[in-house]
Amino acid sequence: MERPEYEKMYELEDSYWWFVGRRRLAEELIERWVTPTPGSLILDVGCGTGGNLAFLSQWGQGVGVDLSPLALDFARRRELPGLVQASWLALPYPNDTFSLVTAFDVLYHRWVTDDEQAIRECHRVLRPGGWLLLTVPALPRLWSRHDEVYYARQRYTPGQIRQKLDVAGFRLRKLSYTNTLLLPAMTTVRLLVRRFVGDSELRPLPTWLNQMLTGVLSLEAVWLRWGVFPVGGSLIGLAQKPG
């Protein structure tokens, strides 16, 4: 992304419905499946402007990696420890280091030139029994200008994610679409963005609308704890390294 998009992300990441809702979805899966012990190390790959690291700190000591120096400049404003500039394709950590690795909408990035290698790197740095939590954009037909602004390479299908996790040696525990209830609105917005708008969809919203959209994703999070969604604008997956 370019600096203006990082600036918007930094300013909105703590309150904007998309980021808050995604963290609530992740929280449900972590609380349901993952049991980090005190002092556990957690790696956030593609940490961006750092908002997720503060969220992850409730389960252990967070470490953030990003290839973009711009992103890390914003993350450092949060005074976060353990920020490193590195490629996901060659993580600068020994084998069997982390209890949890997260990748929030990063696998689809054009800088991740080999997504299977990226997932293998997660497997390598996870401890036996450790967990990988990832989210990715779904439904290739939703491709829009927003994806291009965010340097996207592709949008994924469930079958693609299952196959890549399996090849890397993971055991898939949960895979579901998300952003299901908002899919009709998302489809409409994407069509408009594709046609008329020249930048991303990330922009401040009226407080009432932001709260309403956050509430919708919170409802999805409650359901996700026990079930899955058959379709949606995103995918969330939780996989475990055997052991």
- What is the reported pLDDT for 189? 66
> 43: closest CA among 1, 113, 104, 129?
104
pLDDT of residue 186: 75
**pTM score, whole prediction:** 0.92
Q: In the numeric block, which tokens belong to residue 11?
A: 């300013």
The residue type found at 35 is T
pLDDT at 154 > cutoff 70? yes
Domains of the chain: 3-240 (3.40.50.150)
pLDDT tens by residue, 52-100: 998 999 999 999 999 999 999 999 999 888 999 999 999 999 999 999 9
Q: Is the pLDDT of residue 151 over 90?
A: no
Strand-pairing partners, residue 42, are: 62, 100
What pLDDT is stored for residue 150 in this prediction? 61
What's residue 190's pLDDT? 63
Q: What is the pLDDT of residue 141?
A: 79
Distances (CA, A) of 3 to 19, 48, 69, 70, 164: 19, 12, 10, 7, 31
Asked if 14 and 78 touch (Cβ cutoff 8 Å), the reply is no
The pLDDT of residue 193 is 55
9 within 8 A of 49, measured Cβ to Cβ: yes
Contacts of 202 (CB under 8 A, 6+ apart): 5, 8, 9, 12, 16, 18
pLDDT confidence of 185, banded at 50, 70, 90?
A: confident
Is pLDDT at 108 greater than 80 in this prediction?
A: yes
- Give the pLDDT mean for 127-136: 97
Residue 18, pLDDT > 70, answer yes
The CA-CA-CA angle for residues 36, 109, 17, to 5°, reads: 65
